[in-house]
């Protein structure tokens, strides 16, 4: 008879453990760097917060919003008070899921870390999500308790009617007697962290899903630190004196890292903005003088269009992710600010960035090289590794990886231990990775494979173009697919036939002529997901409709 000892866990509620993918479907986790050898018992909040107090750094700035700042000591006390309320008032048991719904505020960050410190699992949701999406998440992750900014209750109340899982919604940040604030005031500022295992799940992040049903990506306490000790340490190279700012929501793991984890790991501070559209972000940078900025390519382009000399003088590091950063945007930002944007590809499944070059090693237009601690390769459809110089599917592995919550799509993302992100990349002779397209966004036209983002990059280098997206459109008359561009113009440019011809000519002179957009349609804005990505499938659908309508005329 053989006896196996179950691995240590502090979770009393076994839900997450029981809904992990079977071990045969797990990605390989590799811990090559010495800093990635974490102890078996690990609560990430102790490492990110309590240890700074123990080191006497309690008076240092930790988080601030436009109207309030918190030192490390104040923030840690807030986390402890919320953790006490969660356990004593709402009966949180280690392993329980807690939904968080709020714009980026220090209170939202404190609630998130309180859940983790108490051994719970934070299920983060973006404020833009509607009742249907929230109900889906609560159902899927069996969330009984939700903490919700008092201004965003309505959709969640509606969701509660639609799912039996959700039992209680606690408003936060308001003045009502049921508000978390009221309970916090009475709670103790001391709380001993739940002695979680490094492998106890502490976060379920739902993919924003450019298509299809969202997937819940599960991450553990070790993962929270591993992203800091790889990307944060070796690529970002931020310092304790840095001040972070950014636009992505904390509910998007890009924002969780950039807005909270990376700064806490090194004892630096972070500015959380409730509203972070490019204008507001620029205004906050001007007045609060942060040094590190996290945002998406579209925001860098929007800021460029409005930049006055000296506006962003405090910044020394800029990070871009979520979509490919075209070389044209990189170059224009450098010319205007002197800063070389760090592009990086990350995913909800991998938690954060796994390919990206550090300052001084950047090739404009390329995503970069694997982050230390990660391995990346390009493979063909059968999973065979392709040599440098080839284009193929991106596969990665490292200390973090994909664990979907009870989802058959696990075997699409993870194959033979490698994570397949769904992107097509070219690996150049120097080992740099160049994003081509989401694999399902590749356009096959007259026998050629055309990567929409390459055509977009060429269009963007034309002065009239503010934003654009390129998709394949049916050409019903010739039974083929053609390249179609949807273009948002900069103010002051006229959308006429002359401009269409000029844009087409411009693309033909920038890249191989067969890639030029046969059709150019001007639009006011591009459809985007709540995390800011262009929804090319919406445009493909629109292009199909337009082709059919055109044929019917």
Residues that bind ligand 3UK (CB under 6 A): 207-208, 253-254, 321-324, 343-348, 352-353, 367, 421-423, 435, 438, 531
Q: What is the 3-state secondary structure (H, E, C) of 466-508?
A: EEEEEEEEEECCCCEEEEEEEEEECCCCCCCHHHHHHHHHHHH
What's the CA gap between 416 and 218, in Å, rounded?
19
Closest C-alpha among 502, 518, 516, 515 to residue 463: 502
Task: Select 183 or 236, whichever has its Cβ closest to ligand 3UK.
Answer: 236
* Nearest distance in Å: CB 207, ligand 3UK: 5
Task: Select 195 or 214, whichever has its Cβ closest to ligand 3UK.
Answer: 214
Task: Name the helix (H) or strand (E) containing 438.
Answer: strand 433-438
What's the CA gap between 48 and 203, in Å, rounded?
15
Find the DSSP H helices in 27-67.
44-45, 51-54
Task: Select 422 or 527, whichever has its Cβ closest to ligand 3UK.
Answer: 422
* Nearest distance in Å: CB 300, ligand 3UK: 12
Task: Select 183 or 321, whichever has its Cβ closest to ligand 3UK.
Answer: 321
Task: Select 286 or 334, whichever has its Cβ closest to ligand 3UK.
Answer: 334
Task: Select 355 or 543, whichever has its Cβ closest to ligand 3UK.
Answer: 355
* Nearest distance in Å: CB 502, ligand 3UK: 28
Token pair 């507001």 is at which residue? 280
* Nearest distance in Å: CB 92, ligand 3UK: 26
| 271 CB-side CA count, 13 A | 26
* Cα dist from 385 to 274, 319, 439, whole Å: 44, 29, 17
Take residue 309 and report the two structure tokens written for it. Answer: 């000399």
* Nearest distance in Å: CB 208, ligand 3UK: 5
Residue 73's CB: how many other CB atoms inside 10 A?
17
Shortest-Cβ-distance residue relative to ligand 3UK: 346
Take residue 458 and report the two structure tokens written for it. Answer: 């060429």
Take residue 377 and report the two structure tokens written for it. Answer: 């390769």
Task: Select 171 or 326, whichever has its Cβ closest to ligand 3UK.
Answer: 326
* Nearest distance in Å: CB 227, ligand 3UK: 9
Find the DSSP H helices in 228-315.
253-256, 262-266, 278-288, 297-306
* Nearest distance in Å: CB 341, ligand 3UK: 10
Q: Which residues pair with 393 in a beta bridge?
A: 379, 424
Task: Select 254 or 522, whichever has its Cβ closest to ligand 3UK.
Answer: 254
What's the CA gap between 232 and 246, in Å, rounded?
15
Residue 388's CB: how many other CB atoms inside 10 A?
12
What's the CA gap between 290 and 206, in Å, rounded?
29
Task: Select 76 or 362, whichever has its Cβ closest to ligand 3UK.
Answer: 362
* Nearest distance in Å: CB 421, ligand 3UK: 4
* Nearest distance in Å: CB 353, ligand 3UK: 5
């Amino acid at each position: 008879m053989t006896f196996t000892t179950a691995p240590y866990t502090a979770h009393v509620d076994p839900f997450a453990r029981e809904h992990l993918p079977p071990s045969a479907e797990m990605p390989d986790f590799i811990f090559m760097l010495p800093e990635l050898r974490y102890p078996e018992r690990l609560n990430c909040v102790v490492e990110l917060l309590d240890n700074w107090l123990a080191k006497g750094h309690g008076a240092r700035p930790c988080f601030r919003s436009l109207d309030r700042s918190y030192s490390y000591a104040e923030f840690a006390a807030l986390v402890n008070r919320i953790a006490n309320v969660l356990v004593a008032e709402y009966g949180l048991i280690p392993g329980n899921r807690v939904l968080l719904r709020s714009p980026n505020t220090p209170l939202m960050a404190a609630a998130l870390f309180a859940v983790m410190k108490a051994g719970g699992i934070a299920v983060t949701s973006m404020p833009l999500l509607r009742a249907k999406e929230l109900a889906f998440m609560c159902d899927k992750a069996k969330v009984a308790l939700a903490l919700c900014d008092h201004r965003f209750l309505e959709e969640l109340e509606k969701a509660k009617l639609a799912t039996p899982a959700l039992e209680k919604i606690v408003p936060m940040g308001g003045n009502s007697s049921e508000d978390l604030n009221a309970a916090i005031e009475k709670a103790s500022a001391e709380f001993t962290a739940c002695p979680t295992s490094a492998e106890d799940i502490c976060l379920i992040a739902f993919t924003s899903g450019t298509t299809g049903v969202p997937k819940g990506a599960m991450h553990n306490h070790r993962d929270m630190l591993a992203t800091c000790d790889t990307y944060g340490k070796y690529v970002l190279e931020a310092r304790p004196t840095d001040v972070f700012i950014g636009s992505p929501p904390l509910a998007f793991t890009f924002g969780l890292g950039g807005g909270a984890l990376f700064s806490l790991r090194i004892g630096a501070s972070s500015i959380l903005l409730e509203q972070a559209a490019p204008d507001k972000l620029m205004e906050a940078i001007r007045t609060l003088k942060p040094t590190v900025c996290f945002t998406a390519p579209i925001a860098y382009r929007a800021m460029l269009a409005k930049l006055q000399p000296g506006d962003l003088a405090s910044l020394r590091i800029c990070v871009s992710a979520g979509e490919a950063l075209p070389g044209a945007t990189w170059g224009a930002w450098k010319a205007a600010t002197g800063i070389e944007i760090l592009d990086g590809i990350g995913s909800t499944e991998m938690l954060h960035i796994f390919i990206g070059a550090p300052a001084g090693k950047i090739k404009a237009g390329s995503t970069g090289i694997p982050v230390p601690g990660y391995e990346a390769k390009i493979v063909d459809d059968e999973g065979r590794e392709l040599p440098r110089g080839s284009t193929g599917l991106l596969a990665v592995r490292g200390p973090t990886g994909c664990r979907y919550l009870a989802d058959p799509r696990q075997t699409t993302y993870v194959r033979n231990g490698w994570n397949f992100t769904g992107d097509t990349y070219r690996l150049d002779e120097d080992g740099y990775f160049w994003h081509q397209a989401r694999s399902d966004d590749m356009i096959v036209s007259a026998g050629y494979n055309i990567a929409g983002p390459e055509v977009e990059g060429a269009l963007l280098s034309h002065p009239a173009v503010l934003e654009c997206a390129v998709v394949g459109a049916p050409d019903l008359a010739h039974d083929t697919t053609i390249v179609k561009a949807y273009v948002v113009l900069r103010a002051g440019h006229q959308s006429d036939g002359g401009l269409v011809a000029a844009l087409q000519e411009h693309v033909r002179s920038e890249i191989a002529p067969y890639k030029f957009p046969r059709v150019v349609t001007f639009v006011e804005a591009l459809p985007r997901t709540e995390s800011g990505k262009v929804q090319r499938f919406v445009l493909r659908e629109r292009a199909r409709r337009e082709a059919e309508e055109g044929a019917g005329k």
